[in-house]
Amino acid sequence: MKKISSDTVRADFNDLLAVVHYTRAAHELGLWKSERILIERFFPDLSVPLLEAGCGAGRVTLGLWELGYRQLTGFDFAEELVDQAQSLAIERQAAGPAGIRFLHADATALDKCPQISDLPFGGALFMFNGLMQIPGRERRRTALCELHRVCRPGAPLLFTTHDRDSTPTERALWRLEALRWERGEQDPKLVEFGDRYFEEAGTGRTFMHLPDRAEILADLAATGWSHEFDAMRTEITKEPRAVLDFSDECRFWVARKI
């Protein structure tokens, strides 16, 4: 059986079900309260060029535009979602030469997209677990290195992960999964321990790696990012029902380019 690869993940995000799901969120949901709090805290300068990796249909990018950021580049490797983001920017008068720049690019190979290397970014974001949807720890580290390369020293990086050990139930489930890996009985499509590949009504198929905190701290240290902050979303604020329906609890991370 073939292992999950970036082609699998891209195809899942280009699937109609996922496109409708993320487009609706971009049109109707916008920034979560927690995202807005952390963006305003760690990205205080509205004039700095920002790079949003895995922008999807533009939920966060358009949210940044509405907060007043004016030098925005969003990119995603799922072309259907980039098209949706571009349409939304036109609808919200955020397109054109002075508007948001949306690009089609893979976070693990930004050198293939010359427009991304044309200026050093003053900050980067990879929201709603996008980094964790890259299969394989080495490839996630490559993405962290690539974001590091295109940012200027001192630039903040904001991203989220989904803890695999935050509740007693999850810890028990992952202990069982560890036994499956020990016996070689895990789902053969998975790449590493911590991976999940699941299907949800209304969202489609989703690949996600669930790390523990130590893994992310090691990945940041190995890729030139200095850890500055991390906290669970519920520790930051109480989200409205619509956000809770759209997304599970997550851990926010802020790192800074050394």
Ligand X SMILES: C[S@@+](CC[C@H](N)C(=O)[O-])C[C@H]1O[C@@H](n2cnc3c(N)ncnc32)[C@H](O)[C@@H]1O
Per CB under 6 A, residues contacting ligand X are: 6, 9, 13, 22, 25, 53-56, 59-60, 76-78, 81, 106-108, 127-130, 133-134
Q: Tell me the CB-side half-sphere exposure of residue 116, using CA atoms within 13 A.
A: 27
- The least distance separating ligand X from the CB of residue 176, rounded to whole angstroms, comes to 26
Nearest Cα to 160, choosing from 248, 258, 43?
248
Taking the complex as a whole, the smallest distance from the CB of residue 126 to ligand X amounts, in Å, to 8
Contact 246, 59 (CB under 8 A): no
**CA–CA distance, 84 with 63 (Å, rounded to integer):** 15
- Residue 93's alpha-carbon distances to 217, 238, 246, in angstroms, are 39, 31, 26
CB of 113 to ligand X, least distance (A): 10
Pick between residue 145 and residue 168 the one whose CB is nearest to ligand X: 145
Which of 60/155 has CB closer to ligand X? 60
Q: How far is the CB of 221 from ligand X (least distance, A)?
A: 21
Q: How far is CA 257 from CA 2, 170, 237, in A?
A: 36, 32, 26
Identify which of residues 134 and 158 has a Cβ nearer to ligand X in the complex.
134
Nearer to ligand X, 52 or 230 (CB): 52
Interatomic CA distance for residues 190 and 207, integer angstroms: 9
Q: Which is nearer to ligand X, 32 or 225 (CB)?
A: 32
Element (H, E) at 217: helix 213-222
| Shortest spacing between CB 88 and ligand X, in angstroms | 11
Work out how close the CB of 246 gets to ligand X at its nearest, in angstroms, rounded to a whole number: 9
The span from the first CA to the last CA of the chain, in angstroms, equals: 41
Q: Which is nearer to ligand X, 32 or 154 (CB)?
A: 32
Kindly list the distances between the CA atom of residue 187 and the CA atoms of 1, 7, 194, 196, in Å, as whole numbers in the listed order: 10, 18, 12, 9
Tell me how far apart the alpha carbons of residues 254 and 258 are, in angstroms, rounded to a whole number: 13
Q: For the CB of residue 155, give the shortest distance to ligand X in the complex, in Å.
A: 18
Nearest-Å Rg of the Cα atoms of the chain is 18
Closer residue to ligand X, CB minimum distance, 185 or 200: 200
